[in-house]
Structure 1
Amino acid sequence: MDIYDIVILGGGPGGYIAAIRAAQLGKRTALVERDKLGGTCLHKGCIPSKTLLRSAELYESMKRSESFGILTSDVALDFGGVQARKDAIVKQLQTGVQFLMKKNKIDVYEGTGVIAETSSSGHYNGIIDITSAEAVSTGMSSIRIGYRDLIVATGSRPRRIAGLPTHERIMTSDDALEMTEVPSSVLIIGGGVIGVEWASMLSDFGAQVTIVEAADRIVPTEDADVSRELARLFAKRRIKALMGVRLLEAGVTADDNGATVQIERNGRTETLAAERLLVSVGRTANVEGFGLERTAARVERGAIVVDRRMRTDDPHVYAIGDVIGGLQLAHVASHEGVTAVESICGLDSHAPDPASVPKCVYSRPEMASVGLTEQAAIDKGYDIKVGKFSFKAIGKALVLGESDGFVKVVAEKASGVILGVHMIGPHVTDFIGEAALAQLLEATSMQVGRMIHPHPTLSEIIGEAMLGADLQALGG
């Protein structure tokens, strides 16, 4: 039996980054992945969905090309070509991850890994049994490896609503990625990040979209001003958003003609119908099916409990990424993977403060944020000042033909220290990093406002919004 210093269950952005860091630190490392290297992010989440969003955005831009002085005729959507491009990009990136594993001399086991036993033999602290699909079909025995330390990075899956019928007309985000044609109409249950991205994409592809959200606004975790702006812009695009809605699960039906949903809103029952129903109500951590119960690790509220060094209650088991709940973002999982490995190696490393993590939403327009919302800052007792600046006064936004949206800065009034930055508008996901760095360095709104931003760029809006918090905005 091969014994490894570190074994990692799960080859997503948390798992494979942890494996690389472990190899860099001289640890003999194995990674066990039951499906494909890259995990949900590469195959079912970040990359394929953003590839489809880019095609939708480009399609929409081409339909309004006359406003740029470009005459086009018969712009048509080839959805098969859209899906082929998505698959090609995913394949290219998967090959890149495979290369990184070979380059760093990481042993990759393809199959389902299960914790068979834990012990303290002096040589290892636990054993993993790995069963490949080939072994199952041929009756071969599983492979057994030992670990001194284990990192659980088993990820998550789309959350399902109990009681909903099983039918091809009722989809999760995983199912939607494999659609062969754009439906004429879609009902989306859930107006969070995933829901609004799919709403934006499918609307641009030509579907009639209705969002059903239980909260009083869409993307309720974002700043209220950003949520309201997105709802306003969605309404202009004829994306219907129904908020404060209770789904009547018994009223969900589906047949070959489409899906029907009953909802309760403002004390009244309504019936909604569409060709497809997309359920987008969050993700569930994968905490079962791999023998976690044979360790001392603890699960609470459906997620593995860890400290800021990613340690579970078992001294030789660590956990990272979606399986521990929290923000469930790929870049957070990668950071946590590095933290777990460095903790195992005795280095001083800990998980990021959630307030310092940038969050991105790739709808049209995009949204990005870091830090506290205005209401959260008030609730924490801060005396705040707010700066807000519109993209309509930014030259590059007008050049791009995308001037909707704004940047909002929340800072402490006395010190000027930045507490949060919230953006909605063109390409904001590409420059939220500046705000995240400013917050990490505890910069003030005046310091960032006085920094020279190149002209003409979209990033100028950050400087103007920062100056706006001190009533010194120069452009408007």
Structure 2
Amino acid sequence: MLRSAEVFRYMRHAKDYGLVAEKITADLDAVVKRSRGVARQLNQGVSHLMKKNGIAVYMGEGKLTGKGRLSVTAPDGKTSELTAKNIIIATGARARDLPFPKADGKRVWTYRHAMNPPEMPNKLLVIGSGAIGIEFASFYNDMGAEVTVVEMLDRIVPVEDADVSTFLEKALVKQGMKILTGAGVQKLDIGATGVTVAIKARDGKLVSDEYSHVIVAIGIVPNTETVGLEALGVKTERGHIVTDGACRTNVEGIWAIGDATAPPWLAHKASHEGVIAAETIAGQHPHAMDPRNIPGCTYCHPQIASVGLTETNAREAGHEVRIGTFPFIGNGKAIALGEPEGFVKTVFDAQTGELLGAHMVGPEVTEMIHGFTIGRTLETTEAELMETVFPHPTISETMHESVLAAFGRAVHI
């Protein structure tokens, strides 16, 4: 869906590239159909791999019934009793609902409804500005909806570096989006033709407005309450299963990965945890995953990506820091792409030269953050990063320039 929105955006700005494209329209049904087709292809690929590796799949609801025992109830009501020395819980999570009228799939949506919408919203309210909320806000804004984002905290994408949040908010507002921070939804009334929402603004005033649709993106709830954890004494915190660095729980033979466990709740983190758990069960000794070395990516426009500590986190942890920032306007490839807005920011320990964190906003930064992730994983020094040759012309040169800037050696600013 985001790819379709990106192409639609380029087509609307064809003149910027010396091209002519007239009467450009979007077909939301076709966009969703393509999106579901891609998802189906990926799902079939995973199913093929399961079959290829001789993995038996039982479709249904599973529940732990004892140590090493699992009951699976199929959609037709039939039950299968399974036994295993080791059981990995990977039940994921679902969207968190508001305390008042819950998502009905018609006017009020969760992310699942937003991925397969019954109709195109003309005036959309997105509650929550984390990755999910901002991605859907960006998509529907690009597709032509009038979009408002409301966030209780004082800035959007609050887990990101403050400079990234500030830049992204300005970029989204420039695109026509309305951003309300330090604000909260107080009441929500679903009607036949829209949703009336009362919002308490930053100044304390209560403002009501009507929207055609609302997306609730206020976090997730782990799917752990019906798995049978309590009977076995598996430890949880706020519903999320507590694990160690090898994905073990406190109960022998029970393991857990993904959104059912601690944050960050990201697909690539879950996948890597699966490998760690499987290798540990097989008697190997994989390295535990450092949460600070898990990159985060948000596929809005412009994209944002980060790994490690923010500048604020680094200072609060007691580090004396060096900060390097390089703007995309100084990068030839970004200018040629027609997307010179954004920057790369790096945070170093001033005493040791350790790369503490990296934060990006701009075109294709989600394809670049792994470079800094590798650097942190290998404990690369600032000198090694500065002495690395980056290809030209590429957007990745901004990474190099940011590192150089942190030590007063930037070339193009």
**TM-score grouping bracket, smaller chain normalisation:** over 0.9
For the 8 Å contact 2:125–2:214, the answer to whether it is kept is yes
Determine the C-alpha separation between the residues in 1 that align with 2:402 and 2:387.
Answer: 11
Letter paired with 2:37: A
Q: Which residue of 1 aligns with 2:39?
A: 90
Q: Which residue of 2 aligns with 1:112?
A: 61
For the 8 Å contact 1:127–1:145, the answer to whether it is kept is yes
Shift of 1:164: 2.2
Deviations 1:90-142, CA, capped at 9 Å, x for gaps: 11111110111111111111111122233xxxxxxx22121211x32xxxx41
For the pair 1:219 / 2:157, whether they are aligned, the reply is yes
For the 8 Å contact 2:60–2:72, the answer to whether it is kept is yes
For the 8 Å contact 1:310–1:350, the answer to whether it is kept is no
Q: Which residue of 1 aligns with 2:80?
A: 143
Letter paired with 2:173: A
Which runs of 5 or more structure 1 residues have no equivalent in the other structure?
1-51, 119-125
Determine the C-alpha separation between the residues in 2 that align with 1:458 and 1:319.
Answer: 38
SS of the residue aligned with 1:109? coil
For the pair 1:376 / 2:313, whether they are aligned, the reply is yes
Determine the C-alpha separation between the residues in 2 that align with 1:470 and 1:262.
Answer: 49
Equivalent runs, 1:372-451 vs 2, <5 Å: 372-451=309-388
Q: Which residue of 2 aligns with 1:69?
A: 18
Determine the C-alpha separation between the residues in 1 that align with 2:392 and 2:282.
Answer: 46
Q: Which residue of 1 aligns with 2:143?
A: 205
For the 8 Å contact 1:450–1:463, the answer to whether it is kept is no
RMSD: 1.2
Q: 2:271 aligns with which of 314, 334, 341?
A: 334
Determine the C-alpha separation between the residues in 2 that align with 1:145 and 1:371.
Answer: 41
Determine the C-alpha separation between the residues in 2 that align with 1:147 and 1:91.
Answer: 30
Q: 1:343 aligns with which of 275, 280, 299?
A: 280
Determine the C-alpha separation between the residues in 2 that align with 1:394 and 1:447.
Answer: 22
Determine the C-alpha separation between the residues in 1 that align with 2:206 and 2:250.
Answer: 47
Assess, with a 3 A threshold, how the Cα gap between structure 1 residues 198 and 300 changes in structure 2: closer, same or farther: same
Letter paired with 1:417: E
Q: 1:241 aligns with which of 168, 173, 179?
A: 179
Shift of 1:415: 2.2
Q: 2:112 aligns with which of 169, 174, 192?
A: 174
For the pair 1:259 / 2:195, whether they are aligned, the reply is yes
SS of the residue aligned with 1:414? coil
Q: Which residue of 1 aligns with 2:27?
A: 78
For the 8 Å contact 1:388–1:408, the answer to whether it is kept is yes
Equivalent runs, 1:51-70 vs 2, <5 Å: 52-70=1-19
Q: 1:99 aligns with which of 27, 38, 48?
A: 48
Letter paired with 1:57: E
Which runs of 5 or more structure 2 residues have no equivalent in the other structure?
none
For the 8 Å contact 1:285–1:325, the answer to whether it is kept is no
Q: 1:130 aligns with which of 49, 67, 72?
A: 72
Deviations 1:126-180, CA, capped at 9 Å, x for gaps: 22121211x32xxxx4111111111100000001111225542111111111114
Determine the C-alpha separation between the residues in 2 that align with 1:392 and 1:442.
Answer: 30
Determine the C-alpha separation between the residues in 2 that align with 1:451 and 1:475.
Answer: 16
Q: 1:186 aligns with which of 105, 124, 148?
A: 124
Determine the C-alpha separation between the residues in 2 that align with 1:395 and 1:70.
Answer: 21
Higher deviation after alignment, 219-228 or 77-86: 77-86
For the pair 1:277 / 2:214, whether they are aligned, the reply is yes
Determine the C-alpha separation between the residues in 2 that align with 1:277 and 1:419.
Answer: 38
SS of the residue aligned with 1:148? coil
Determine the C-alpha separation between the residues in 2 that align with 1:86 and 1:284.
Answer: 25
For the pair 1:286 / 2:223, whether they are aligned, the reply is yes
For the 8 Å contact 1:321–1:328, the answer to whether it is kept is yes
Determine the C-alpha separation between the residues in 1 that align with 2:211 and 2:126.
Answer: 10
Identity of aligned residues (%): 39
Higher deviation after alignment, 238-247 or 160-169: 160-169
Determine the C-alpha separation between the residues in 1 that align with 2:51 and 2:107.
Answer: 41
Q: Which residue of 1 aligns with 2:396?
A: 459
Q: Which residue of 2 aligns with 1:33?
A: none
